Amino acid sequence: MAIKSFAKIHKRAAERKGGEEALARLVSRAPDPSELKMLGDDRILAAMAKCIFRSGFVWRIIDHKWPGFEAAFLEFQPGPLCFQPDEFWHDLASDTRIVRHAQKIRAVHANALFVQDIAAEHGSFGAFLAAWPQEDQVGLMAFLSKRGSRLGGATGQYLLRMVGWDAFVLSRDVVAAIRDAGIDVADMPTSKGDLAKIQAQFNIWRKQSGLSGVQMSRILALSIGENYDQTVSQEAD
């Protein structure tokens, strides 16, 4: 089975959403690596924490409580957090300003150390991310999973998207569109083989379309599945 060109996927998405102009309004601009490079380490750590606490939980509750998270975790400054005694982390497990999940609280501590280590090597964590090649998102995901805490799978993908790295997100609709295009991967692709296939195809589509990973991911999601009214917020990709 021949793999569909991205032009065909793009055309189908436009037809579903009312034309090219309508589709363009639903697709974000390409991320700017210079903005990522300037992002503070505290904002990187905050994004890690938000993605971790959102995982398996109702996002709006985490978002509503977020000012409390910022206060409880010292504005996510890696240096001060790394020097907090065990009692600080123990007490957070009963702190009503946050969602009290002991394992996720410990992950913030581990990731503060992770961010600090990478920043020491590269000047900042944002600079490290900005320098990572766009053609190897899968390699970056593996690095985050190995060196960070609870940053594997979808959490790592949403983290990259949140901080402004040009990431695709393998949501249900994106994977369905990838499979519909002729790429033989599982419904929930997590194996190294499946991820390598997806990365290779995104690299091909990037050259074909001139679009960013974020833009291709969004268009894939909009090209298939339930055709939601986009005036209503949807987690399409």
Q: What angle do CA 58, 62, 63 make, to 5 degrees?
A: 110
Q: Over the chain, what is the mean pLDDT?
A: 95
Q: Using a pLDDT cut of 90, give the percent of the chain over it.
A: 93
What per-residue confidence (pLDDT) applies to 220? 98
- For residue range 181-209, what is the model confidence (pLDDT) as tens digits? 999 999 999 999 999 999 999 999 999 99
pTM: 0.93
Residue 233: pLDDT above 70? no
What per-residue confidence (pLDDT) applies to 234? 42
Q: How confident is the model at residue 88 (pLDDT cuts 50, 70, 90)?
A: very high
What per-residue confidence (pLDDT) applies to 235? 44
CA 111 remoteness from chain centre: 16
Give the amino acid at 18.
Answer: G
Q: How confident is the model at residue 161 (pLDDT cuts 50, 70, 90)?
A: very high
What per-residue confidence (pLDDT) applies to 227? 79
What per-residue confidence (pLDDT) applies to 229? 65
Give the amino acid at 168.
Answer: F
Q: Spell out the alpha helix ranges (H) of 170-232.
A: 172-180, 192-209, 213-222
Among 28-32, 100-104, 172-176, the minimum mean pLDDT is found in 28-32
Cβ-proximal residues to 6 (8 Å cutoff; 6+ apart), any chain: 205, 208, 209, 211, 216, 219
- For residue range 100-114, what is the model confidence (pLDDT) as tens digits? 999 999 999 999 999
Residue 55: pLDDT above 90? yes
Mean pLDDT over residues 59-73, rounded?
A: 98
Mean pLDDT over residues 28-51, rounded?
A: 96
Mean pLDDT over residues 176-182, rounded?
A: 98
Closest of 186, 143, 164 to residue 39, by C-alpha: 164
Residue 226: pLDDT above 90? no
